[in-house]
Amino acid sequence: MIGIISYLTFFLTITAVLAIAVLGLNLQWGNTGIFNGGVVAFFGTGAYVMVILAGPERAGEFGGFGLAWPLAMIGGALGAGILAFIVGLATTRLRHDYLAIATFGIAVAVEVFARNATFWTGGAKGIRGFERPLEAFISNPFVYGLFYLTIVLAVILLVYLALERLVRSPFGRLLRAIREDETAARSLGKYPARVRLQAFVLGAIIMGLAGGLYATFYAFISPQDLAPILTFQIWAMLIVGGAGNNRGAIAGTFVVWGCWVASGWALSSFAPADVQIYAGTLQYILIGLLIVGMLLAKPRGLLPEKLAVSTHSFEPVTPAKATQAS
């Protein structure tokens, strides 16, 4: 029983960490329509900067500042934000697929940098992290798992509430206005370029936060964690959950990541021994089928965006009311 709870704790922790990144993407894509194809760049920057800031000294390599963990987390998130600011400025004129390709390129560049700049990032062998916060005081790994889950849940709750508030605010409406029609937004005296940059940086900061939590949890980060598959996974989670809906983003993470690991578990438990070798390949097919099936059943995601078109302005135009008035 303890085993199941222990695994569930672990599963929920990773899911929640990924969900934070999905929330970041939801702000960018779901609300503002910014096609970020390089999620992993911001996730990874957050992770690396956090580990370098808080980590122990490494022989002949940069880092070892031993900063307090919360500060390092903020540093990591800011690092991701700064990268997003530079990328956002550089790609300010790009939209849709062009932006996707440009950001994908940034992600590859970040991965290649991490793999080769041994002095800064430890190269391909990665950086070993540090004792997780307060781990020295909670020696039981099971209890510590629950404790860390609480931290991650607190962060995701904070991010969720902040984003909910943000998307319901006038700024949130402005984001959606830009998503739907930039020219129209501009005609109303708004600056789409500036707002897009703000949303992009904010989303990246949230992704950086997720990266920091991820590297803290594993106490390790290497370029292998920055593979493009992560960007794909985050996108799949958002699309399945429902772009534009924060609760959908979180639900999508649970469903996609849950299916991802459950399919591996199911195959290893139920497939006959001689098929086991091919179970990994079968798993990919299952995951693909699952995502396609989900999208066929719910094309707008599990929890689609509630189109909160300002109801007041539409009231007089509804036919029923119109007849009443006349």
Partner 1 sequence: MSMKTTTLWGALALGVCLPAAPALAQDCTVKIGAVLPTTVDWGRPIAATAQFAVDLFNEAGGVKGCKVEMSLRDSQVDPKIGVDAAKALVDLEKVPVLLGAVSSGVSMPILTSVTVPSKVMQMSCCSSSTAFTGVAEEGKTDGLWFRTFATTRNQSAVAALLTQERGYKKVAIFYKNDDWGQDIGKLVQADLEKLGIEVTSSTAITDGQSSYRSEVTEALKTQPDAIYMALYPSEGTLVTREWISLGGTQNMVVANALKSDEYRDNVGLKYLGNLVGHDSAQPRTASAEDFVALYKAKFNAEPNGPGLPNSFDAAMIALLAMQASAESTGPAIAASVGRVTDPAGEAIFPNKEGLEKAIKLLDEGKNISYQGGTGPVTFDKNGDVSAPAVAWAFDESGTREVKYFTLDEVNAFIATLEK
227 belongs to the binding site for partner 1 (CB under 8 A): yes
Tokens of 161: 């509430």
Among 118, 146, 160, 173, binds partner 1 (CB under 8 A): 118
The verdict on 60 binding partner 1 (CB under 8 A) reads no
Residues 6+ apart with CB under 8 A from 216: 50, 69, 73, 129, 132, 133, 148
* CA distance linking residue 262 with residue 7, whole number of Å: 12
| 264 near partner 1, judged by CB under 8 A | yes
**Nearer residue to partner 1 within complex by CB, 128 or 247:** 128
The DSSP annotation for 84-104 comes to HHHHHHHTTT--HHHHHHHHH
Taking residues 290 to 309 in sequence order and writing x for each that binds partner 1 by CB under 8 A, - otherwise, the string is x-xx--xx------------
Among 204, 255, 286, 303, binds partner 1 (CB under 8 A): 286
Compute how many residues bind partner 1; rule: CB under 8 A: 60
Binding partner 1 (rule: CB under 8 A), the pick from 188, 277, 307, 309 is: 277
Task: Give the Cα separation of 286 and 307 in Å (integer).
Answer: 32
Buried b (16+ CB within 10 A) or exposed e, 69-102: beebbbbbbbbbbbbbbebbeebeeeeeeebbeb
| Shortest distance in whole angstroms from residue 13 CB to partner 1 | 10
Report residue 313 CA to chain centroid gap: 35
In the complex, least distance from residue 55 CB atom to partner 1, rounded to whole angstroms: 13
Distance of CA 103 to the CA centre of its chain: 15
Contact status: 12 vs partner 1 (CB under 8 A): no
Choose the binding region for partner 1 from 172-180, 193-201, 265-273, 318-326 (rule: CB under 8 A). Answer: 265-273
Out of 93, 137, 141, 323, the only residue in the binding site for partner 1 (CB under 8 A) is 141
| CB of residue 177 to partner 1, shortest distance in Å | 34
119 forms part of the interface with partner 1 (CB under 8 A): no
Q: Which residues have C-beta within 8 Å of that of residue 56, sequence separation ≥ 6? A: 64, 66, 130
Q: Which of 26, 53, 260, 303 binds partner 1 (CB under 8 A)?
A: 260
Choose the stretch contacting partner 1; rule: CB under 8 A; options: 39-47, 239-247, 259-267, 315-323: 259-267
Asked if 170 touches partner 1 (CB under 8 A), the answer is no
Q: Which stretch binds partner 1 (CB under 8 A): 4-12, 43-51, 85-93, 304-312?
A: 4-12
The answer to the question of residue 265 lying near partner 1 (CB under 8 A) is yes
Radius of gyration of the chain (CA): 22
- Cβ-contact 196, 34 below 8 angstroms: yes
Q: Whose CA is closest to 184, among 173, 168, 198, 169? A: 173
DSSP state of 55: S
Question: What sign for the dihedral angle of Cα 185, 186, 189, 194?
Answer: positive
299 residue type, one letter = P
| Interacting residue ranges for partner 1, rule: CB under 8 A | 3-4, 6-7, 10-11, 14, 112, 115-116, 118, 123-126, 128-129, 141, 144, 217-220, 222-225, 227, 229-230, 260-261, 263-273, 275-284, 286, 289-290, 292-293, 296-297
